[in-house]
A and B are shown apart, each in its own frame.
Chain A
């Protein structure tokens, strides 16, 4: 039996990738045990019928690595873990720095090198784009309010206001910009990234970098339904050689190892692709391609456990997903258990085929 720990299990309005990673692993492995690592007792995936086999609450990355490792030592004393797939942006950088600690504890992770991680940050996107001959919307990193308005005037309204990890809000006026700037600082800290708006359809590429400049699997979609929060609630698989080549070039330039998501927008007028963001983890739609043979979480696990990259078949265009919300019936006792004891174990958890 393989035991895989997964974080990011909330699948509500702003879905995290962990629940999809879990479902993908269970599609592939009949005997996988999934350990959910949560930061909040209301992460919805832990209350689903196909909840993780066990759930442990862990401290936020901002609490420091010592606290996190202490918690991991406790968890490992209760439950051996072979692989950890982190799915939240804020986790990745601290984990890269502590990779040796996890390795010494027998926990395998597939993470990019520190240089690769830094090179894809929102603040450095322009430099990456120059190296890859790829367009990016004009953007400015703002660290304090005094430079905010000048930065905005250079870009023009409407513009996008983005946190360094998460969040992307379009603002049309100066007043909204100031409010959004402060809200973003409060939530994600500095810098805040102001980005030129490009009008067009959004395209996402999910892939695994092999650490040697190549890709060990990928899937490309165009978003067909976008929520008010800008999340893809529907997307269709496509194949566009220009976009594919851009993705290959970017992953090669970064020398990326592990899961990655590239977000593009295609300008309605010029037809040019603009790189918006490079996310250092699987996206929320990760399970969708797993349903037609592109099981990228399983590729990660196979490589970590066997040392081999699994070959995937070409993916079919025309498959599309629609995000569908269901109401979960939860038991207050489970929430109470997690709030107080910080862990819960499920017996005979239902698995999907």
Chain B
């Protein structure tokens, strides 16, 4: 589980340009990343995001899961999401 509080404050436009008003950092997102980010901001469950990613881009779920994990790692590295309950759960 991830704390997406910082993510919800991220300002994102339709072209994938994102601005974090708490730090002043800016990010450029691909359209795919934009789709994932929007769903994360909305609080959609991981499975739902994964299903969307696989369907929208016609890729195997395994591949989609790998890509999603890479993207989430980036968000963690930038401080945009934090692990809320620890890697092994509460």
Contact = CB atoms under 8 A, between A and B. Distances in A.
Interface of A: 201, 221-222, 224, 235-240, 271, 317-318, 320
For A221, A235, A318, which residue has the most chain B Cβ atoms within 10 angstroms? A318
Interface stretch (B21-29, B32-40, B56-64): B21-29
B19 interface: yes
Classify the secondary structure of B's interface with A: loop
Contacts of B23: 201, 222, 238, 240
B18 to A, nearest CB: 11
Contacts of B19: 317-318
A221 B24 contact: yes
A221 B23 CA distance: 9
Give the most central of B11, B19, B21, B24: most A CB within 10 Å: B24
A235 B24 CA distance: 9
Contact of B21 (A224, A239, A271): A239
B60 to A, nearest CB: 37
Contacts of A221: 24
A238 B24 contact: yes
B22 A238 contact: yes
A271 B24 contact: no
B75 to A, nearest CB: 15
Given A222-B23, A320-B24, 9 more contacts: A201-B23, A235-B24, A238-B22, A238-B23, A239-B22, A317-B19, A317-B21, A318-B11, A318-B21
A205 B19 CA distance: 20
A221 B21 CA distance: 10
A239 B19 CA distance: 12
Contacts of A236: 24
Contacts of A317: 19, 21, 24
Contact of B22 (A201, A224, A235, A240): A240
B79 A224 contact: no
24 contacts: A201-B23, A221-B24, A222-B23, A222-B24, A224-B24, A235-B24, A236-B24, A237-B24, A238-B21, A238-B22, A238-B23, A238-B24, A239-B21, A239-B22, A240-B22, A240-B23, A271-B79, A317-B19, A317-B21, A317-B24, A318-B11, A318-B19, A318-B21, A320-B24
Contacts of B21: 238-239, 317-318
Contacts of A237: 24
A318 B21 CA distance: 6
Contacts of B11: 318
Contacts of B79: 271
Nearest to A241: B22
Contacts of A222: 23-24
Nearest to B20: A238
A317 B9 CA distance: 12
A201 B23 CA distance: 10
Considering residues B11, B19, B21, B79, which has the most beta carbons from chain A within 10 angstroms of its beta carbon? B21
Nearest to A235: B24
Interface in B45-75: none
A222 B22 CA distance: 10
B6 to A, nearest CB: 11
A224 B25 CA distance: 9
A235 B79 CA distance: 20
A238 B24 CA distance: 6
Contacts of A201: 23
A60 B22 CA distance: 41
Contacts of A238: 21-24
A213 to B, nearest CB: 26
A235 B21 CA distance: 13
Nearest to B79: A271
A270 to B, nearest CB: 12
A21 to B, nearest CB: 24
Contacts of B24: 221-222, 224, 235-238, 317, 320
B21 to A, nearest CB: 4
A317 B23 CA distance: 10
B19 to A, nearest CB: 6
Nearest to A201: B23
Nearest to B21: A317
